[in-house]
Amino acid sequence: MRNTHRDKIVVVGAGNVGEAIAYTLMVRVQANDIVLIDVNEDRAKGAAIDIAHGTSFHKQVWVRQGGYEECRDAQIIIITAGIARKPGQTRLELAKTNVSIVKSITENIMKYAENPLILVVSNPADITTMAVLETSGLPANRVIGSGTSLDTARLRYNLSARLHVNVEDIQAYIVGEHGDSQVAVFSSATVGGFPLEEYASQTGVVLDKEELAEHTKNGGAEIIGLKGATFYGVAMAVSTIVETIMKDDSAILPVAHRLDDSFGAWAGAVVSLPCRVGWEGVEAAFQIPMNEEEEKAMNHSVELLKEFWVQVKEQ
C-alpha cells in the first residue's frame, strides 16, 4: 500500500532520452519530484533547470539534479543511461558496454533503495533488463523493461494510417525482442472490436502485413537516419508505463520482464508480452493468441535472446 505523501521519480541518464522522459513526466504531472542523475552532473543540472523553468507556465513540479541517495525513497527509478551504437561496432560489443554501465548503476541504486521498482530503457533493452534483474536480486515483477511498448505504438500508428481510423481503436501488439526478431501479431489484432481482417475487408483495404511489420521494425532506424536520434516516442511510451504504475491502473501493456515457469520453453527469458501493470510492477503476463507462423517466430525470438544473454555474460 502506498505510504508516502510525495511522489518521486528518479531518472538515471540525462541524455536525449532521459531528458525527454523527465520533460514528459513533468508535463503530464506524473510525479511532483523528478530527479535527474548523470555522471555528467552539469548536463543533468542544466536539463533539470531548463525543464523546471517551464513549470511556471504549467504546474508545480520539482525538477532537479541529484545523486544516487535520491533513490532511497523514489517510487520509480528509470534507467536510460548507455551509449549509442557506433559505426562498425557489433551488437555484442554494444551490449557488453551498456550491460557494464547498467550493472554499475544498479549497484549504486541498491546501496540506497530497498525493494525499488526499476524501469529499464537502456538498449539493448531486453538484455539490460536481465542485467539489472540479476545484479539487483529484485523479484522479477519489480524490474520492467520498456520492451516493445514503443514498437507496439508504431505498429498501431502504421495500421491507423493504412486503415484511416483512430489509432485508439486499434488493438495490436509487437511481442518478443525489442529488436530485429520482434513479432507483429496480426492474427488476434482488432479494430474497434472487429477482427483486423474483417475490418480491412469491409473497408476495402488490402494490408501488406509483411511490409507493415518491416516498416514498424525499422521505424527507429528511419528516424535516426533523418534526425540522428529518437527520444519523443520512447518518452511517451515510458510515461504511459509510469502513469499505469503511479495510478495503480492494472492496465495491459507490452513490457518486458523475466517470464516464469508457466511459460514453458520461454521461461527465464526477459521478453515482451502483454502484461498487467500496477503499483507493484508486473502483476501478470499473458500469452497472446497467435497463429502457427507467429508462434514459430516468437520461439525464434526467445531463443535468440537467451543465446545472446549467454554470449554477453561470457564476455
- Say whether 183 counts as a known binding-site residue: no
Name the average pLDDT for the chain.
93
- Where does 124-218 have alpha helices with state H? 125-136, 149-163, 196-203, 209-217
Task: Let me know whether 68 and 138 are in one domain.
Answer: yes
Residue 59: Cβ-neighbour burial (10 angstroms; 0-12, 13-18, 19+): exposed
Task: Let me know whether 105 and 181 are in one domain.
Answer: no
Task: Let me know whether 125 and 212 are in one domain.
Answer: no
- Say whether 104 counts as a known binding-site residue: yes
Number of domain units in the chain: 2
Query: Is residue 46 very low, low, confident or very high in pLDDT (cuts 50, 70, 90)?
Result: very high
| Phi, psi (deg, nearest 5) at residue 254 | -85, 85
Task: Let me know whether 138 and 154 are in one domain.
Answer: no
Give the end of a domain, one of 145, 177, 195: 145
Spatial CA neighbour of 179 closest among 302, 284, 93: 302
The answer to whether 209 and 184 are in contact (CB under 8 A) is yes
Task: Let me know whether 141 and 159 are in one domain.
Answer: no
This prediction has a pTM of 0.94
- Say whether 166 counts as a known binding-site residue: no
- Say whether 152 counts as a known binding-site residue: yes
Catalytic residues: 178
Task: Let me know whether 128 and 204 are in one domain.
Answer: no
Query: Is residue 315 very low, low, confident or very high in pLDDT (cuts 50, 70, 90)?
Result: low
Percent of all residues in the chain with a pLDDT value above 70, rounded to a whole number: 96
Domain containing 195 equals 149-314
Q: Flag whether 1 is in a domain.
A: no
Residue type, 29: V
Instruction: State the CATH number of the domain containing residue 125.
Output: 3.40.50.720
The answer to whether 230 and 216 are in contact (CB under 8 A) is no
Residue type, 278: G
- Say whether 18 counts as a known binding-site residue: yes
